[in-house]
Amino acid sequence: MPKIVIIGAGGYVFPLTMIRDVLAFPELQDSTFSLMDIDPVGLSRTAGYARKLVSSHQLPTKIEETTNRREALEGADFVIVTFQVGGLEAYKHDVEIPRRYGLDQTVGDTLGPGGVFRGLRSMGVLDGIASDMRELCPNALLIQYANPMAINCWFTAEAGIKTVGLCHSVQGTSRMLAEQIMGFAPGSWSYKCAGINHQAWFLEFTHEGRDILSELRTGVNAFARGEGRSDNESDDLYGGGREQVRTAIMNLTGYFQTESSHHASEYLPYFRKTVQDVARWVPERWDYYEICVGHDFEAERARVEELTTKPLQASEEYGAFIIHSMVTGIPRVIYGNVKNTGLIMNLPQGACVEVPCLVDKQGIQPTYIGDLPSACAGVNWGSIAVQSCAVRASQTGDRELVHAAVALDKMTSAVVGLEECRKMVNELFEAERKWLPQFA
């Protein structure tokens, strides 16, 4: 009977999705879920829905709720982290302060000033979680769902915690390429992907056992030009219209990457320097902060109500599959964000990389990739420089490393000069000081 802790359980849909995913496996239905959040209102809501889910399916699952993190972590086997430290209040600063300097982030949760400061806020909390886990559940696996994924996983891995970070961009992008763009039937295609989170590369792609990388490049370029169509472009998981940004990156490196054109446009210097650039590369405006602020909570409540009674079936998220494999020994391959211990030879050792991993009773076993194609590694190195400075800044409390992290960001350096960048970072420090105890 595993004990599964969810830290940040006060959200609406995702925590309940995680619980449903686990309980879709009969072998895990006697689990104990310890739900923890600093918001007692959101926590109570999630716990209520979780108990309704358990009751409606007549399961033996135990649901606990607490605002005390140490109480939740005592004796845990798995710890799922899904939080946004500072919530929308902090996120508003992440996006609005840089915009005053001409820096328009479409999401701002991975790189750039938004990603760096979200990472600093997260690491301030993860430091305490890691300390508690070393004492209370030293053998537990930390399953990281919070962004910035690479920064957070790098930090907790160096803190001595067994860590894997999970993102659905690999699964979603592979399906978009194979089924929406190329028109392949489900189950007829496979792939190999590696790199870093939000910048992993489809190194191999096969259809019915045949290498189709060259055909894929041709098909993606045709799609970007407006030829062909996806089955339902308006429901594209990752947006970005005809994927002009990712197509340009593919043509630069030779390989398609895993994160949306909206998001990918933030990671390189070419796409968001001016309003005209943005209109050319990402014609459909997609602002994640505005989406968060405009959430239809009534629709989400209805969705959560439905989740409590509909038949149990695991989603595409890897978390429950990992738990099931580690409990039962059934082997699976997932894509995880893990410490680079000789896995990708031409990326910095110790950084966080995203690679295929075998999972069974022995836990997460990352697979060896070797060298990435040189251009792909070159793109990744630029992002890793930002991540490295952010991690070291949080570990040491060195504000100068935060200035370096933001200034080294590719999009930031294309738009903001060094003196203005320093002013911007100082404004962010001042606005977010209450969430940054490591810099006190």
Give catalytic residues, as residue numbers: 168
Q: Judge whether 25 and 320 are in contact, CB under 8 Å.
A: yes
Q: How far apart are CA 64 and CA 72, in angstroms?
A: 8
Contacts of 112 (CB under 8 A, 6+ apart): 98, 103, 105, 266, 406, 409, 411, 412
Q: How far apart are CA 8 and CA 202, in angstroms?
A: 32
> Tokens 């739900």, residue?
35
Burial tier of 296 (Cβ tally within 10 Å: 0-12, 13-18, 19+) = exposed
CA atoms within 13 A on the CB side of 182: 24
| Dihedral sign, Cα of residue 143, residue 148, residue 154, residue 158 | negative
Q: How far apart are CA 121 and CA 127, in angstroms?
A: 10
Q: How far apart are CA 319 and CA 326, in angstroms?
A: 11
> Tokens 């301030």, residue?
124
Q: How far apart are CA 83 and CA 72, in angstroms?
A: 15
Q: Judge whether 384 and 358 are in contact, CB under 8 Å.
A: no
